[in-house]
Amino acid sequence: MAETKNMILNMGPQHPSTHGVLRLILELDGETVVKLTPDIGYLHRGVEKLGENLTYHQFIPLTDREDYIASLSNNLAYCMTVEKLLGMEVPPRAMVARVLLTELQRIASHLFWLGTFGIDIGAMSLFFYTFREREQILDMFEACAGARLTVNYFRIGGIAKDLPEGFEKQVRDFIKIFPERMKNDYERIFQDNKIVRIRTEGVGIISKEDAIDLGLSGPLLRACGVPWDIRKSNPYCGYETYDFDIATGKVGDVFDRYLVRMEEMRQSLKIIQQALDRLPGGPFLADDPKVCLPSKQKVMTEMESLIHHFKIVSEGFEPPVGEVYHSIETPRGELGFYIVSDGSNKPYRLRFRPPSFVNLESLAKMAEGKLIGDLVAIIGALDPVMGEVDR
């Protein structure tokens, strides 16, 4: 008598719509996924080891490239961790500018997610509409920093250059058109559509207890109904002074994750409006001569600034001995940096806690026992970025 074996299918690293180089080894029984094993490491670049040979200042561009969709969030996490290690205060203008730009980055990242989620499900036109708005945000980043994707704008102690002229007008134009675009373009084509509903409702459910046990964070956790947002529970950068709500879902399925991210975009717009209204004047970089680069005018005229400039650029600064952990809320979840310093100008150990890596572990729980057609929707709603999973 013939024996039946389950079919092993390889959803390989090169794929039309996995998010980056993710390899999944699926054991299929007909259409049902019996076992799912993720195989990662195809994008490993050894960033944490590289960090041990670079000074603290030189490491900032490398953080851009980890979660490359939301690079300003990575910059922020790293700079705040080093500032916590040094015990440094950031001037108020830099704090408000940081909040403004990070929330813009959150909207850009969620727009990217929405476009690619639409393509995964099959609605290909949504991608073009969301990227039109994302282009506007990236133009704003380019006006500030000079690059669109790997922005590299925050420094230890503040921001690199002051906000350019015309920046405020660009942001206000964006705030004016965005809510109506969300309602007319994205929601009308996607949210009420019956096909989208039956494709996403009840799919990939994870319970509250499982979510907390697995260590999920970000929109996945909030979609299960747990109102946990690091911006509210451990506020940083002045977030306790802004007025916004946490978006939570009820059931924890793919549709709830979609709703949570849409609501987060609206709340981010609220925060941007408040930040823009209260942007103070003043310095944009802290005044510590050992850590922060002095301005070019001072370097070319004052001897002391020139000496500090030379010292910071060539050798960096020496933070006190100790270890520190700081985490922020990125569009994907809790991003944390753990730095161990031994008193020299290079870190002894630099550890990057990526949210997508921890979230990816829950994929097996969400997808086993379900149909293969659901798998694509579940991965899409998980929103992994392989740059930060593999580092």
**Which residue ranges make up the site for other proteins (CB under 8 A)?**
7, 9, 11, 15-18, 31, 54, 57-62, 118, 120-125, 127-129, 132, 135, 139, 142-147, 150, 152, 160-162, 164, 184-185, 188-190, 192-196, 198-199, 293, 295-297, 299-300, 306, 309-310, 313-314, 371-376
Q: Which is nearer to other proteins, 98 or 309 (CB)?
A: 309
Shortest separation between residue 159's beta carbon and other proteins, angstroms:
12
Q: How far is CA 47 from CA 43, 57, 65, 360, in A?
A: 11, 15, 9, 20
Q: Which is nearer to other proteins, 31 or 209 (CB)?
A: 31
Shortest separation between residue 286's beta carbon and other proteins, angstroms:
16
Shortest separation between residue 235's beta carbon and other proteins, angstroms:
30
Best CA proximity match to 290, nearest among 256, 316, 326, 255: 316
Report residue 158: phi and psi, to 5°.
155, -145
Shortest separation between residue 217's beta carbon and other proteins, angstroms:
26
Instruction: Give Dmax (Cα) for the chain.
Output: 91
State which H helix or E strand residue 100 sits in: helix 92-121
> Do 73 and 330 form a contact (C-beta atoms < 8 A)?
yes
> Do 158 and 286 form a contact (C-beta atoms < 8 A)?
yes
Shortest separation between residue 346's beta carbon and other proteins, angstroms:
12
Shortest separation between residue 279's beta carbon and other proteins, angstroms:
17
Buried b / exposed e across 79-108, counting CB within 10 Å, b at 16+?
bbbbbebbebebbbbbbbbbbbbbbbbbbb
Q: Which is nearer to other proteins, 164 or 322 (CB)?
A: 164
Reading the block at residue 379, the tokens are 């991965």
Shortest separation between residue 306's beta carbon and other proteins, angstroms:
6
Q: Which is nearer to other proteins, 143 or 212 (CB)?
A: 143
Distance (Å, whole) CA 329 – CA 77: 9
Distance (Å, whole) CA 72 – CA 192: 33
Best CA proximity match to 327, nearest among 345, 339, 344, 317: 339
Q: Which is nearer to other proteins, 167 or 228 (CB)?
A: 167
Shortest separation between residue 16's beta carbon and other proteins, angstroms:
5
Q: Which is nearer to other proteins, 306 or 340 (CB)?
A: 306
N-term to C-term CA, the chain: 49
The answer to whether the Cα torsion of 230, 234, 235, 237 is positive or negative is: negative
Distance (Å, whole) CA 145 – CA 163: 9
Q: Which is nearer to other proteins, 210 or 288 (CB)?
A: 288
Residue with tokens 């630099």: 350
Q: Which is nearer to other proteins, 190 or 242 (CB)?
A: 190
